[in-house]
Structure 1
Amino acid sequence: MFILDQYQIHLQGAALFAPLTAQLSSRDVLAIQGPSGSGKSTLLADICGVLNPVFFSTGALTLNDRNLRDLSVDQRNVGILFQDDLLFPHLNVYDNLAFGLPSGLSRDVRDQRIHNALEEAGLTGFAPRDIATLSGGQRSRIALLRTLLSEPDLILLDEPFSKLDQQLRTQFRGWVFEHIAEQNIPSILVTHDPADIPEGSQRLTLNKEPANA
């Protein structure tokens, strides 16, 4: 369960947006919209634990009954998918995916999990492939698989479809939310495009806090 309650981000004593309240259970999607500079990516940074120290937040920010502000980045168990895939160019597909797996797994277990993930993504046999040989759509799928293999409690999607052409965008968008739902993970999507938002999602729009509030 992810909870925002009367949540705000402040810069130099001024709130970036009006208070937000939302609650997400397994498979729930929260779509966050707002103009550029309204604080969308800053909100995701706070959830991840990498908020620039010039900002500070107030209100409840909890995940599975844990106050995220009390936890370091590696303790939060939050996954994120960006506009850019951020794959490691010096590692092949297998090693990029292995990077997302929990530590302490045996080689056999790692091999099986990576094999299963690639098979589900329609990429069977891609484990030894050089990242440079992949298409944009294939790279995007690998990036999502790596995030899911880390078994996050919450996944953040920061404009992950914006650089894809329209046909690939539509296909990848459905594939992403299908795989997230299969793992019963709540997700938060930041997007400028209403078409990216799955049916039934919760929605929040970041509106600037009135100066006299």
Structure 2
Amino acid sequence: MALGSRSLSRRRQASGARFRSARVRHHHPDGTWDQQCISGRSPTEICLTDDSNVYYYMDSSGEFELETPDRDAVKSALSRYRTNTDLSITYDATPVFSGGGETDTIWQEGAFGMPDYFRGLTWCNDPVNGTRHRCDQHYIRIRGAGTYNQKIAGHEAGHAFGLVHGAEASPVQGQCADRMGIMRASVSCTDSPGLGAVVKQNINWIY
């Protein structure tokens, strides 16, 4: 991204006015959460994808293959981000797993070594050198046996885009606060897969 460009500066100013009106920051980093992005499978690591052009791949064979309903859930969840935010999201049929130009998000189905109450986990596989918060490639793994749905897929995608839960927001929000939208922490908080206005504002401010 050309951070010094005038067009981006004007866009940031306009976006910033809308963002300040939301009065809640729940992107990484914010005034509450500022951990460095590191590689590894952990529920406490949140990183930003490296830019607004997001390429994703859904595992199509082997242990972590997504079945058709799971793939449909991912597509529907990502279409909300594509339609309602400044992110450009494209499926990558020939994924890159190392080196330059890695595919941004790799979607999988299966276990990930966490207690059963974790429905899904997003982690960074390759932090961007020279940055504190950016990740070149995320893995998103959601449990099988019917766990995959649009709400959980949308929530985990939000983590890959740098969004946090209410406890890490600034100011801190309840885990089921309405303004957290798709980033409400518990699956019992809402049945809606909608992003929510504050989620859209936060993403558009970051990217």
Relative to its length, the structure with more strand (as a share) is: 1
Which of 1 and 2 has greater Rg?
Answer: 1
Higher relative contact order (CA 8 A, sep 6+): 1
TM-score scaled to structure 2, two decimals? 0.26
TM-score scaled to structure 1, two decimals? 0.25
